[in-house]
Amino acid sequence: MTAPTVDPPLSPVREGLDGPGLALDLDRVAPILEGDDLRRQLEVTALRKRFPALARRVNGQRLVYLDTAATALKLDGVIDAQADHYRSSGANAHRGMHRLADEATTAYEQARERVARWVGAARAEDVVFARSTTAALNLVARGMEPRLRTGDEVLLTEMEHHANLVPWIQLAERTGIVLRHIPVTAAGELELDGLDTLLTPRTRIVSLTYVSNVLGTINPVAAIAEAAHRHGALVVVDAAQAVGHLPVDLAALGADLLVFSAHKAYGPMGLGFLVGTEAALDQLEPLEGGGQMIREVHLDRATWAEPPLRFEAGTPDVAAATSFVAAIELLDQLGLDRVQAHDQALTGYAIDRLAAVDGLRLLGPADPTRRGGLVSFVHPRIHPHDLATILDEQGVAVRAGHHCAQPLHRRLGLSASTRASFGIYSDRDDLDALVAGLGLAHRFFA
């Protein structure tokens, strides 16, 4: 298989994008280079300077970070923005009339507006700040509980992360709703021939991942959402593995509710999002109670604020919310269509290199254009945990285990796998280091 080319290539290096002293005018350099590969390498090399963690050495080796699907490395602008908030203010948002509180509130709400534009929300008020994707999915499941009755159905898929399984399992235990699942084919894609049978008059919610965190599969969410809406179901999309890697738009996906995390897209940990249509958010009851989320409180009763504040009880993480804007700005300057092409080129190259490893089993679609930027695999004789340990000794960071997707691994006849996942700072040299590490592990266990 030939890896797809990236045309135009990922081009992050422009004046003002990579800070003082780091600008590189590739439009002038390119004519003296030979081939897109060399051009792309220079661009990624310059971009890597924006991620301080990549300056580390691990066990005397350069850090080869292939675990972006677990969490992306943090952009320097994100780190600086968090530090600046605490250095210059540190005040709480929506909690005071003084200058520092006003500045914090303004920055916090500007961040909400920026996220809304980034994912195609109709209004800033349609963006809810949460702790994580997991927290947002729990908010949806618990928020819909009063509207569900015994026998109502929620349709999921067999490739879901536990965060999009366990809250619904808990809800089923409490309410008696029925959980149904779209099966996964041997090729790692959803089996949609029976979708019309799985969708019934009792289907109330369809909740599914946009990009599988194990298989890399990009699911046809818009088509599934269209079918779900014909049955009157609410559509929830887990975009945790999509944001920062490909364009994500609420309306284009046909989603009623969209969840994702900042840390998967080069932003801070501890910040997630629930984005929805006004009608969908109005259906949810708040998960947590306390300050900020109320309209009026008496000793024996209370009423709730309108969304999004209804769902944001307690002190918000102002530093995290405001710092994430730096990551969004970088990704917008790069262009998410080019970022996606970069991921696909690396995925194609990884599939080619790994397919040449004797006995290695690759998981997910063979076509890199149908995948996000990750590849999971199983060695015939080496347990994923042992493999990850040997790779770490070579400075190569990968994920090993069930990746919070035990039912999917069980469906594939596996208990665990090894996953290499890519970011905007990844290149072919990283994948060559991965393959070299696999060779070392093979010799060690031979």
What value, to the nearest 5°, has the Cα angle with vertex 383 and ends 377 and 384?
A: 50
Q: How far apart are CA 168 and CA 171, in angstroms?
A: 5
The confidence score (pLDDT) of residue 395 equals 97
**369 in Cβ contact with 344 (< 8 Å):** yes
The confidence score (pLDDT) of residue 445 equals 85
CATH 3.40.640.10 at 78-330, yes or no: yes
Helix (H) or strand (E) holding 303: strand 302-304
**205 in Cβ contact with 154 (< 8 Å):** yes
Q: How far apart are CA 29 and CA 39, in angstroms?
A: 9
CATH 3.90.1150.10 residue spans of the chain: 52-66+335-445
**324 in Cβ contact with 405 (< 8 Å):** no
Q: Which residues are catalytic?
A: 404
The confidence score (pLDDT) of residue 19 equals 34
The confidence score (pLDDT) of residue 9 equals 37
Q: Does pTM top 0.85 for this prediction?
A: yes
Architecture of domain 52-66+335-445: Alpha-Beta Complex (3.90)
The confidence score (pLDDT) of residue 37 equals 61
CATH 3.40.640.10 residue spans of the chain: 78-330
Q: How far apart are CA 438 and CA 434, in angstroms?
A: 6
Q: How far apart are CA 123 and CA 299, in angstroms?
A: 34
| % of the chain exceeding 90 in pLDDT | 86
- What does DSSP assign to residue 65? E
- Segments of the chain scoring below 50 in pLDDT: 1-35
C-alpha dihedral, 93 to 99 to 102 to 108, nearest 10°: -60
